[in-house]
Amino acid sequence: MYISPTMKKLNKYSIRVTDIASQYWCELQMELNYLYGQKLTSQISAGKTLHDDLENKISVPLILQPKNYADYLFKDFYKCYTALNSLDKNKKAREITLYGTLNSFKLIGKIDQLELKNNSTLLIEDKTRSNGNVPSEAQTLTHKIQIMVYRKMLGNIISKKFDYKAFKNLYSLDRLQLTQEFVRQLDALNIEKDLQSLDVIAGKFFAMISEIKNLSNILYLRYINQNTGNELKLFKFEYDENYTNSVIDFSVKYWNGERKAIPVQESEKWKCSLCKFFGKECKVWWNDGNSIK
């Protein structure tokens, strides 16, 4: 698999959908997060806890300790498989991982929620807020981009533009093997023997995704208060395939190494006051050493 100079610099082997969304907030900040490390803030921790709580309301937590990459993939596929298997019953499935490609690169994302409603399958992206404020238009844009790319990836799997065979080749699945310790954990949880294969569980996952019916073009962004768990705002908007393709075209030029990371424009330099790199690793809009004007 080709690894571009940009991917080598950032020590990355795949691109996350959240990376693409972050490029539309500040591409340079996204790059610096990989070069210098992203700080785990209390906001991020609280957001993760709320996502876990929402998932645990409809799914039993899967207590497994992966020992290698094959184990990790199996755990994720099995978790998603069981969630999709109960979609008809629960009308909801949470934290469904998606795989695809961005040009020649691996592309990975995770849908917060699939929901069956009025004979349609809806995509819902949850974002948490540490206060009761509705997000700004600039913040909402990145989240819209995120869910639109998810919609494209899901559509590609359903239409078999990206199927299990493509995934198997891209990830060299034949070279991956579960550890004996992990298999013992599967036995302890009474997971069926015929499912205890990465090849089998991945194949079943892709088969179940491809069977999703009536995928809606109306996408949902739901903002939730971290402290109360209450919904702050629900945005609905229509999926735009052409716009999503233009987003991907812009994004991939960076990952290919065709251009350097772009900082925010002058009209958006207010974002710099929210950035931990401002005045340190990044001084693009640093004014008099300590302020944004």
- Mean pLDDT by runs of 10 across the 293 residues of the chain is 87 96 96 85 52 52 91 96 93 96 92 96 93 86 97 96 95 95 96 96 96 96 89 95 96 96 95 93 78 53
Residues 6 or more apart in contact with residue 32 via CB below 8 angstroms: 277, 281, 282
The helix/strand/coil state of 278 is strand
d(CA 62, CA 46): 21
Overall pTM > 0.85: yes
So what's the pLDDT on residue 131?
80
pLDDT for res 3: 80
Whole-Å CA distances, 285 to 11, 175, 270: 27, 48, 9
CB contact at 8 A, 179 and 185: no
How many H-runs (helices) and E-runs (strands) does the chain carry?
Answer: 10, 6
Mention every residue, 6+ apart, whose C-beta is less than 8 A from residue 190: none
- Report the pLDDT value the prediction gives residue 55, as an integer from 0 to 100: 47
